[in-house]
Amino acid sequence: MRFEVGSALSIGAILFTVIIVAAMLIWVERRLLGLWQERLGPNRVGPFGLLQVVADMIKIFTKEDWVPPFADKFSFILAPPIIMVVILLSFSVIPFAPGVGVIDSDIGVLFVLAMASLGAYSVMLGGLSSNNKYALLGSLRAAAQMVSYEVFMGISLLGVVALAGSFNLREIVLAQSDGWFIIPQFVGFVIFLIAGIAESHRLPFDIPEAEQEIVAGYHTEYSGMKFGMFFVGEYLGVVLVSSLLVVLFFGGWLGPGFFPPIVWFVLKTAFFIALFILLRAAIPRPRYDQLMNYGWLFLLPLSLLNLVLTGAYILWQEGI
């Protein structure tokens, strides 16, 4: 069995690594938040508290998995797996390194966008089926936020797609071999970062699950492993957006030597995961209407302008 794109070994390794990394992020996030808030974070279980993840997993697996009698059982059970499946499917088009990946698709970027838009159903169905006012409010907010920020996410990507001339993520990485796209596409990068945070509803854009306002938002009624799926899904989303940022703007596995390509990819992704956690530690949550106004009145025109200027630049380069 060889280690190449689409081999069973590659798929298995990617699936295993991604899920383990997402679970480990529970610990990483708490330690990093502690570091930035001058605390220690979990350090009791095992060396440096590393086994905290195992303890959390045992806890969450053995908890009572309760379906409220007033909930709509069909959608209530359907909702949590959607987010896991959708995000894990998105990982299939990510090029981790030459020869490491699940599929080499010509529509990679579109596939990621499609999966991101399907991810909204998990949140909406979860909130709607819970039959709880906080859950309903949370999922209403989630629906509006995710549908809006998908738009800017897609448009901010198009600059990169235009520069690389392909929807294939592997070709986008290869197109960056003489310069990462962060330089010509800085505006696109900023918009994609903001939209990515909003899509994975992480802080500061965790408006759908704002604890201080609406209990836990859409997953108020969830418990046990169903809650665990939402929880791990959120971290999977963080890993996905970080690796997308690396692939689209920071040259994927490309690096100045020293290490094998996969190590460069992992290092860059780890940097962005840490940035996500730093954002959570530092920045307060905006109000709901501020978020929507900011998106539609500032980010949308900016991303359109970015796309137009990129197009003009490409035409000027080709000398038309």
Which residues sit at the interface with other proteins, rule CB under 8 A?
34-40, 72, 74-75, 78, 105-107, 110-111, 113-114, 116-118, 120-121, 124-125, 127-129, 136, 139-140, 143-144, 146-147, 150, 154, 167, 190, 278-279, 281-283, 296, 298
Question: Which one, 138 or 184, has the nearer CB to other proteins?
Answer: 138
Q: Is the dihedral of CA 283, 286, 292, 294 positive or negative?
A: negative
Beta carbon of residue 150, minimum distance to other proteins (angstroms, whole number): 7
d(CA 241, CA 255) in angstroms, rounded, equals: 20
d(CA 223, CA 311) in angstroms, rounded, equals: 49
Beta bridge partners of 100: 97
d(CA 70, CA 277) in angstroms, rounded, equals: 36
Beta carbon of residue 254, minimum distance to other proteins (angstroms, whole number): 24
Question: Which one, 208 or 261, has the nearer CB to other proteins?
Answer: 208
d(CA 232, CA 244) in angstroms, rounded, equals: 18
CB 299 within 8 A of CB 195: yes
Beta carbon of residue 114, minimum distance to other proteins (angstroms, whole number): 4
Question: Which one, 171 or 213, has the nearer CB to other proteins?
Answer: 171
Question: Per the structure block, which two tokens stand in for 18?
Answer: 């991604």
Question: Which one, 20 or 147, has the nearer CB to other proteins?
Answer: 147
Closest CA relative to residue 219, chosen from 119, 288, 136, 143: 136
State the Rg of the chain over Cα.
20
Question: Per the structure block, which two tokens stand in for 217?
Answer: 């938002």
Beta carbon of residue 60, minimum distance to other proteins (angstroms, whole number): 26
Counts for the chain of helices (H) and strands (E), in that order: 12, 0
Question: Per the structure block, which two tokens stand in for 170?
Answer: 């592997």
Beta carbon of residue 281, minimum distance to other proteins (angstroms, whole number): 5
Question: Which one, 87 or 124, has the nearer CB to other proteins?
Answer: 124
Residue located via tokens 């990621």: 112
Beta carbon of residue 32, minimum distance to other proteins (angstroms, whole number): 9
Question: Which one, 97 or 221, has the nearer CB to other proteins?
Answer: 221
Local structure of residue 287 (DSSP, 8 states)? P
Beta carbon of residue 57, minimum distance to other proteins (angstroms, whole number): 25
Question: Which one, 197 or 246, has the nearer CB to other proteins?
Answer: 197
Q: Mention every residue, 6+ apart, whose C-beta is less than 8 A from residue 135.
A: 126, 127, 128, 217, 218, 219, 220, 221
Beta carbon of residue 256, minimum distance to other proteins (angstroms, whole number): 24
Question: Which one, 23 or 194, has the nearer CB to other proteins?
Answer: 194
